[in-house]
Chain A
Amino acid sequence: MREITLSQAVNEALAEEMRRDETVFIIGEDVAEAGTPFKVLSGLVEEFGTGRVVDTPIAEPGFMGLAVGAAMTGTRPVVDLMFGDFIYLVMDQLCNQAAKTHYMSGGKLNVPLVLRTNLGATRRSAAQHSQSLHALVAHIPGLKVALPSSAYEAKGLMKTAIRDNNPVVIFEDKLMYNDKAPVPEEEFLIPFGEANIKREGSDITLIGTSSMVQVCEAAADILEKEGISAEVIDPRTIVPLDEEALLKSAKKTSRVIVVDEGHQSYGITGEIAGRINEKAFYHLDAPVLRMGAMDVPVPFTPALEDLTVPTPETVAENARRLMSGEMIHAA
């Protein structure tokens, strides 16, 4: 199978959906000729024109709000939010407007929009360009949240998101834009709410999201050499969450570590760990462990930044401790 980068995968998904449905358009800062700072959208304006690849002023709440109204009236906007950190700027339009419109209208109005943005630290971009804020929106009923972990997922989830009649937020790992993965030439979609078992194992389950799937896979490689068989699962979407697949794996292995790049406290890892505790408690041989990013603003200096996120080594170390029966306090 051919291999393409995550960036190309997103670009292809958008182009295919824009060809298929003329109500789909892209709106955001520097999306047209610039193709975004990460060059993810390069070439789209040449094919679809500035009427459908719309450069905006630097006004995140404004273009987010505009997209909500556009979506309510018959179009399918894909909002480009240059950095995930800017999500704070669009919170009212996303969480008070887009997320609640269908419910508040008793099912009469729909908001079929996609907000595509990114997450991920270790790019030496400091605290306002490095956050992983998907937990903020996953907390809000009415929003779906997708976390692609490779080029394959990035394409399949984006196409599904564009066809979904609800507001969907997709966070791409900005460190992965140039990473290649096998992606079929023929059309495919990845349904929401279906976890992917990346690797089967029997001793411990590593649940990883987005950027942390690679970390979990690398940790599983380390553990394999030591005779520990780790299962790696990628939920792919956290709303909806494929709870069944996660519980099944937890019951099978009896030990679970949940790894996510959002801050650990009040985050995705705690939510998933809580569900496993509630629904698989008697199958567990150890407490479910959370590993998120440190609860500190992301520091600039590489000497400190690299300490803040889970790595294959720290995941493997915690797995060993869980296997040995040692009581541990996370991170």
Chain B
Amino acid sequence: MSPAKKQSNAEDYMRMYRQMVRIRAFEDNANQLYLSAKMPGLTHMYSGEEAVAVGICEALRTTDKITSTHRGHGHCVAKGAEFKEMFCELLGKEEGYCRGKGGSMHIADQSNGNLGANAIVGGSMGIATGSAFTAKMLGKDDVTVCFFGDGATAQGLMYEVMNMAALWNLPVIYACENNGYSEYTRTDEIAAGSITGRAEAFGIEAFQVDGQDVLAVNDLAQKLAERCRKGEGPFFMELMTYRYHGHHVGDINREYYRSKEEERDWKENRDPIIRFRGWLVEQGIASEDEIEAMNATIKDEAAAAVEYALQAKYPDASEVDMHVFTDVKHALA
């Protein structure tokens, strides 16, 4: 990793570390909720990819927008969401971000510019591009980041909207989280040619970056966000990363598509949190004790939020036909 720029950036570095640990803590708890059958449905873990969401979202303002994916908890935390409302949503409770109507795959937090996770692979690419269209049309300097996985590069929608974003110089950054697997299939079995080459075909500047290095991701994201604000967008980032869990929490026996050795190598040698923690200590930005204390606090906060969510109320049955339309309180009344 690169040397620390300035001691005055220490606060930024510690916030990035904290956000990555928060994501890991959130996912560890979500996984436990699933395994102990306390969570309805299932979920897709972001563990291992934390440096991508944090590196990018730390380069954004609250008013900037993101669109997220089925593997979206990391984006949501990184863009500023609170544990309590997120766990409530995962458990289908009234106090969840979406009053329990969206669940793990649809958390939206518009107060922090998160336009929502999406359960259709590649489904949010149009939305992100449209959000950037709004910024341009209304003369705002908001940037939109579209998170998606390598699997989504197979969807036709991506090419249609990248074409329009390039034609109209829209302030959007397409952030491809390449974790090497398209659900249960190796990405090199479903993607011909290069990923960045897909964007370059439209004249979009594309960059490949180590998605396990939060500083490298943040550095690039800052530059691209500023260039977007100056009207130089769109851009494309391919972030080389890895998901520690299976496609979803129930995908336990996965040796038919990837080896335990490969998983161990990424976890032990390329973990974004371990790497960054080592760097923080080495640069004298934080001591081991300070980091341990921060980890413990986050663990406690997550546990408290889980406990709160478990006790929280479900929405009243009368909510079932609310929010179908904006102007009709009960659609079936």
- A interface residues with partner B (beta carbon < 8 Å): 23, 25, 51-52, 56-57, 59, 61-75, 77, 92-93, 96-97, 101-110, 141-142, 144, 164-166, 240
Total contacting residues, chain B, CB less than 8 A? 47
Chain B residues, Cβ within 8 Å of A92: 120, 123, 157
Question: Is B164's CB under 8 angstroms from A68's CB?
Answer: no
- The smallest beta-carbon distance between A143 and chain B, in angstroms, is 9
Partner of A104, one of B116, B126, B131: B116
- The smallest beta-carbon distance between A144 and chain B, in angstroms, is 7
Q: Is B134 an interface residue, CB under 8 A from the partner?
A: yes
Closest A-B pairs by Cβ, 8 of them:
A65-B126, A69-B130, A62-B160, A106-B99, A69-B127, A59-B160, A106-B98, A70-B130
Question: Is A103's CB under 8 angstroms from B327's CB?
Answer: no
Complex CA–CA separation, A75 to B327 (angstroms): 18
Partner of A141, one of B97, B106, B324: B324
Partner of A65, one of B100, B129, B132, B167: B129
- The smallest beta-carbon distance between B228 and chain A, in angstroms, is 15
Partner of B115, one of A23, A72, A77: A72
Question: Is A165's CB under 8 angstroms from B126's CB?
Answer: no
Can you give 11 contacting A-B residue pairs, CB < 8 Å? Answer: A65-B161, A66-B126, A66-B161, A97-B123, A97-B124, A97-B126, A97-B127, A104-B102, A104-B108, A105-B102, A106-B99
Chain A residues, Cβ within 8 Å of B124: 69, 97
Partner of B327, one of A69, A93, A165: A165
- The smallest beta-carbon distance between A279 and chain B, in angstroms, is 15
Question: Is B131's CB under 8 angstroms from A73's CB?
Answer: yes
Which chain A residue lies CB-closest to B167? A57
- The smallest beta-carbon distance between B189 and chain A, in angstroms, is 24
Complex CA–CA separation, A245 to B129 (angstroms): 43
Question: Is A71's CB under 8 angstroms from B160's CB?
Answer: no
Which chain A residue lies CB-closest to B111? A108
Which chain A residue lies CB-closest to B106? A104
Partner of B134, one of A63, A73, A108, A142: A73
Chain A residues, Cβ within 8 Å of B167: 57
Given A109-B115, A110-B326, A65-B96 contact (CB < 8 Å): no
Given A69-B127, A75-B138, A166-B325, 17 further pairs, Cβ under 8 A: A52-B137, A57-B163, A59-B163, A68-B127, A69-B124, A73-B131, A77-B130, A92-B120, A102-B325, A105-B106, A106-B101, A106-B323, A107-B323, A108-B108, A110-B326, A144-B325, A166-B326
Question: Is A96's CB under 8 angstroms from B138's CB?
Answer: no
Complex CA–CA separation, A74 to B330 (angstroms): 25
Question: Is B126's CB under 8 angstroms from A68's CB?
Answer: yes
Question: Is B131's CB under 8 angstroms from A62's CB?
Answer: no
Q: Is B199 an interface residue, CB under 8 A from the partner?
A: no
Question: Is B101's CB under 8 angstroms from A66's CB?
Answer: no
Question: Is B127's CB under 8 angstroms from A72's CB?
Answer: yes
Given A110-B326, A142-B325, A70-B101 contact (CB < 8 Å): no
Q: Is B133 an interface residue, CB under 8 A from the partner?
A: yes
- B interface residues with partner A (beta carbon < 8 Å): 65, 67, 96-102, 106, 108, 110, 115-116, 118, 120, 123-135, 137-138, 144, 156-157, 160-161, 163-164, 167, 322-328, 331
Chain A residues, Cβ within 8 Å of B157: 61-62, 65, 92-93
Question: Is A108's CB under 8 angstroms from B110's CB?
Answer: yes
Complex CA–CA separation, A59 to B163 (angstroms): 10
Complex CA–CA separation, A107 to B116 (angstroms): 13
Chain B residues, Cβ within 8 Å of A72: 115, 127, 130-131
Which chain B residue lies CB-closest to A22? B138
Given A97-B127, A141-B331, A69-B164 contact (CB < 8 Å): no
Which chain A residue lies CB-closest to B98? A106
Question: Is B323's CB under 8 angstroms from A66's CB?
Answer: no
Which chain A residue lies CB-closest to B97? A106
Which chain A residue lies CB-closest to B128? A69
Complex CA–CA separation, A61 to B290 (angstroms): 50
Chain A residues, Cβ within 8 Å of B100: 106
Partner of B130, one of A67, A96, A108, A144: A67
Chain B residues, Cβ within 8 Å of A77: 130
Chain A residues, Cβ within 8 Å of B163: 57, 59, 62
Given A62-B160, A62-B164, A106-B96, A69-B134 contact (CB < 8 Å): yes
Chain A residues, Cβ within 8 Å of B101: 103-106
Chain B residues, Cβ within 8 Å of A62: 126, 129, 157, 160-161, 163-164
Chain A residues, Cβ within 8 Å of B161: 59, 62, 65-66
Question: Is B120's CB under 8 angstroms from A105's CB?
Answer: no
Complex CA–CA separation, A73 to B143 (angstroms): 12
Question: Is B324's CB under 8 angstroms from A102's CB?
Answer: yes
- The smallest beta-carbon distance between B66 and chain A, in angstroms, is 12
Complex CA–CA separation, A60 to B76 (angstroms): 29
Chain A residues, Cβ within 8 Å of B129: 62, 65-66, 69
Chain B residues, Cβ within 8 Å of A240: 328
Partner of B323, one of A25, A67, A102: A102
Interface core residue of B99, B101, B133 (most chain A CB under 10 Å): B133
Interface core residue of B118, B160, B322 (most chain A CB under 10 Å): B160
Question: Is A165's CB under 8 angstroms from B120's CB?
Answer: no
Complex CA–CA separation, A136 to B83 (angstroms): 39
Question: Is A166's CB under 8 angstroms from B327's CB?
Answer: yes
- The smallest beta-carbon distance between B142 and chain A, in angstroms, is 8
